[in-house]
Amino acid sequence: MAEKKDKKLIQEELPENTVNSKVKFSAGRVAELLRKMEKLLGIPLSLRSSTGEVVCKTDYFYGPCSFLRGTESGCTRCRKVYKSIETKVLRRKVSYVCMCYCGFLIFAVPLEFRGEMLGILIGSQILPVSEDKDISEYYNNLKNKAKELGLIKTDEYEKSFDKIKTLDANKQRTQFLSYIEEIAKHFVEIAVAEKPWNVLLKEIKTKVPDFGKF
């Protein structure tokens, strides 16, 4: 009951001018586990089928993307980016990292079971911060994107920057990709074996002791 109440509160706290009001979580254990994994890592995650259909998404609910994708132009551009990523991953069947038009890193990993590709796990809304580039440069770029897309409530938008995850552009990209790949492998397993969250997390940390730390 407490979990259901928390979900309701989260929905009520979301700004009305974001795309969040239009998106609902898929029901089921996979969606619940994906949200817990997202909370542990601090990044937005989504699952997509091999046909490109969204199975479960949490990526609309945090940070500036919820505002940018709430605009017609922003949503169109974002869909174009994700479609390109899905096409590449489905064709090559290997993990893929790229940068979206706003400067965020997007990690995409194929979901496979017994040699068959079932879909894609995506992690997004991450800034590749390096020593020679201050994070304020990225924030200024995000502010400019908001102007381009005609975003009105910029104060709420800028407050959402606190939700952004950063990675060292030179040191942590490979490490983070390995995390996403580990999650993808276990998500396929829980879909088949119905493993609970504590078992899933224990198995991952047995193989990757510092999982979730950056």
* Nearest-angstrom CA–CA distance, 124 and 114: 27
* Residue that has been written with the tokens 């979580």 in this structure: 25
What per-residue confidence (pLDDT) applies to 59? 58
What per-residue confidence (pLDDT) applies to 9? 32
Total domains in the chain come to 1
What per-residue confidence (pLDDT) applies to 6? 38
What region, left, alpha or beta, does residue 198 occupy, with left being phi > 0 and alpha being psi -120 to 50 degrees? alpha
Residue 25 DSSP class: P
Q: Which of 201, 213, 196 lies closest to 32 in space, CA to CA?
A: 196
Print pLDDT tens along the chain (214 aa).
444 433 333 333 444 556 655 555 555 667 777 888 888 887 888 888 877 677 777 655 578 888 888 888 998 998 899 889 989 998 888 999 999 999 899 999 998 877 778 888 898 888 888 776 778 888 999 999 999 998 877 788 998 898 888 888 767 788 888 888 888 887 777 766 667 778 878 888 887 787 777 6
What per-residue confidence (pLDDT) applies to 23? 57
Quote the domain boundaries for residue 151: 25-207
Q: CB atoms < 10 A from the CB of 75, how many?
A: 15
Q: What is the dihedral of CA 77, 78, 84, 86, to 10 degrees?
A: -160
**Residue 203 CB-half CA count within 13 A:** 14
Please state the pTM of the whole predicted model: 0.78
The CATH number of residue 49's host domain is: 3.30.450
Residue 94 DSSP class: S
Q: Is residue 3 part of a domain?
A: no
Q: Is residue 212 part of a domain?
A: no
Q: Is residue 183 part of a domain?
A: yes
Q: Which of 149, 164, 144 lies closest to 68 in space, CA to CA?
A: 149
Q: Is residue 30 part of a domain?
A: yes
Q: Is residue 8 part of a domain?
A: no
